[in-house]
Amino acid sequence: MKLMHRVWAVSALLLGVALTLASVFLLLHMTLRAELMEDVLPRTFAMLGALVAGVLLLMGSVYISTRIAVFLFASLEHREIPFLRKKEPPRI
């Protein structure tokens, strides 16, 4: 492996860990703030919002980490880079 490839691989790993931890801490903060509410209706909406935000944040961090890993470790022939892909002529 080249040195820059190793640096990018380690930075992608650290980015994935940082995104996941940030998502977990944000979800924890949102849940605690929702639990401290006294009214039932706003607390219900806050918990639903925390649930939706948590799912989106964690799925987003997994998606971004996976895309970075695929981009780094896939060979150039298998990458899906739109501007490098040759368009085939339409078949008649």
**Model confidence pTM above 0.95:** no
Q: Which residues contact 23 (CB under 8 A, 6 or more apart)?
A: 54, 57, 58, 60, 61
pLDDT in tens, 25-83: 999 999 999 999 999 999 999 999 999 998 998 898 888 888 887 777 776 555 555 55
Alpha helix segments (H runs only) across 1-92:
3-35, 40-73
Question: Which of these, 55, 72, 59, lies nearest to 11 by C-alpha position?
Answer: 72
